[in-house]
């Protein structure tokens, strides 16, 4: 097993915290929206969304669900890729190519789920999709630079771009639950 630097271990802990936070956002949707929508929360059909508020709620729910599933399913893949017994250059190529593939799958799944139920894209979802484009671009740049040109000086760009995009995505996904929770407490106070 390869010893990891303290900074990499710190980033692993931050990534785990981010995954747990996205899971809590998903739990918030289930706890607060399930009493209103019942099973329609999970199985809405196309054409059943009647208002912009419903479109926004479903759009945010789809985005949070897709992000959470990808986070949970990709974490074991990352560990597996790091443990492969191949040369470093091939490992670098496989790692960054797999990230490009995973991000592409995430973008396509969010888009297809929206198209399937004919849901409009919320502002939060659009921000998340834009940040995913930044992430895929940075991963592709790293694939070319490190995998094919053996140029390893863009690590800071990769870290800042990837983590910055992740933090912006999490903030965007948090907007709808925060707004709804504040509106609920305001309604209870006035109530």
Residue 1: pLDDT over 50: no
Structure tokens at 39: 């099973």
Would residue 125 count as lying in a domain?
yes
Would residue 171 count as lying in a domain?
yes
**DSSP per-residue letters across 107-151:** HHHHHHHHHHTTPPPPHHHHHHHHHHHHHHHHHHHHIIIIIIS--
pLDDT tens-place string over residues 6-60: 877 887 888 889 999 999 999 999 999 888 878 877 777 777 788 899 899 999 9
Do 176 and 124 form a contact (C-beta atoms < 8 A)? yes
The values of phi and psi at residue 186, to 5°, are -65, -40
Instruction: Give the separation between CA 6 and CA 90, rounded to whole angstroms.
Output: 25
Would residue 84 count as lying in a domain?
yes
Would residue 24 count as lying in a domain?
yes
* Matching residue, tokens 């995505």: 169
pLDDT tens-place string over residues 58-91: 999 999 999 999 999 987 887 788 788 888 888 8
Residue 174: pLDDT over 80: yes
- Strand runs (DSSP E) across the chain, as ranges? none
Would residue 1 count as lying in a domain?
no
Domain coverage including residue 137: 6-190
Q: How many domains does the chain have?
A: 1
């Amino acid at each position: 097993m390869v010893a990891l630097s303290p900074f990499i271990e710190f980033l692993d802990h931050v990534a785990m915290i981010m995954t747990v936070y996205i899971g809590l956002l998903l739990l918030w949707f289930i706890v607060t929206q399930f009493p209103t929508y019942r099973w329609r929360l999970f199985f809405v059909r196309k054409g059943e969304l009647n208002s912009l508020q419903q479109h926004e709620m479903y759009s945010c729910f789809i985005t949070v669900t897709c992000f959470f599933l990808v986070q949970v399913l990709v974490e074991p893949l990352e560990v597996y890729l790091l443990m492969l017994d191949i040369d470093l250059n091939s490992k670098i190529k496989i790692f960054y190519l797999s990230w490009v593939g995973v991000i592409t799958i995430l973008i396509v799944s969010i888009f297809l789920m929206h198209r399937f139920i004919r849901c409009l894209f919320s502002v939060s979802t659009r921000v998340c999709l834009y940040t995913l484009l930044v992430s895929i671009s940075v991963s592709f740049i790293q694939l070319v630079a490190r995998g094919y040109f053996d140029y390893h000086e863009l690590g800071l760009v990769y870290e800042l771009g990837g983590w910055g995009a992740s933090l912006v995505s999490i903030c965007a996904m948090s907007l709808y639950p925060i707004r709804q929770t504040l509106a609920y407490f305001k309604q209870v106070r006035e109530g």
